Amino acid sequence: MQGYIVHITKAKEEDLIVHILTENKLKTAYRFYGARHSVIHVGYKIDFEPHYSTKSSLPQLREVLHLGHRWNGIRERMLLWQRFIALFYPHLKGIESLEPFYLELLDWCALRWEKQNPKRIALEAYIKLLAHEGRLHPLSDCFACDLPLHEEVTLTRGFLPAHPACVYQEGMQRPLVDTLLNEASALHLSDKHVESLWRTLLEGL
């Protein structure tokens, strides 16, 4: 079984509770501390075997193999990846079964993370996620005041469109936002806009 580690919780002593986004569920497993165990971190893609027993409701995490990417060793890119991938845990927590879309989306990101701007990749992935979940709002009315949007638009948490004055945020020209939302492409955005949208994304999926 394969998946991405999206959250780790410390248990007693050095044991860990590991949450892994797999193809069809957010799987929780128990990792016993031991010298023979490989190191695991949030953001790693792993191949593993869940071992079930009658003594615990959680399976044990065994036979762990890190399916690494070359950029895993690039500190700056890995830190950005960990911040991004950690957002999936609260977003998917409690859902019994998942579609393969979420694992495929992270694979899509991981393949591009080394050579492209990670923040732009994350923004494009988020647009794809919103569209998949039916949460991508049209640029028609401001979510805060329900009045029509004008030439400047800002995106708030969940990328809800609003008048800049309504939410006290700096806006972008409407064509820029339209291209981002309709084409799931951040290539045309300035670094300043990308940084602003990245901070919005970090507020939660």
Q: Please give the helix or strand (H or E) that residue 65 lies within, else none.
A: strand 60-66
The confidence score (pLDDT) of residue 98 equals: 95
Structure-block tokens of residue 106: 């992270």
The residues pairing with 10 across neighbouring beta strands, listed in sequence order, are 16
**If pLDDT is split at 50, 70 and 90, which confidence band does 61 have?**
confident
pLDDT (tens digit, 9 = 90+) per residue, 89-111? 999 999 989 999 999 999 999 99
Q: Tokens 């579609």 sit at which residue?
A: 99
Percentage of the chain exceeding pLDDT 70: 97
pLDDT (tens digit, 9 = 90+) per residue, 117-167? 999 999 999 999 999 999 999 999 999 999 999 999 999 999 999 999 999
- Cα-based angle 46, 48, 53 (whole degrees, multiple of 5): 145
**Considering only CA atoms, which of 130, 44, 116 is closest in space to residue 86?**
44
Q: Where do the domains of the chain lie, and which CATH numbers do they carry? A: 2-70 (2.40.50), 116-201 (no CATH)
The confidence score (pLDDT) of residue 46 equals: 94
Mean pLDDT of 39-65: 86
Q: Which amino acid is at 49?
A: E
The confidence score (pLDDT) of residue 59 equals: 86
The residue among 12 and 122 whose pLDDT is bigger is: 122
Q: Tokens 């923004």 sit at which residue?
A: 123
Structure-block tokens of residue 186: 């951040």
Does residue 56 carry a pLDDT above 80? no
**If pLDDT is split at 50, 70 and 90, which confidence band does 34 have?**
low
User: Mean pLDDT score of the chain, rounded to an integer?
Assistant: 92
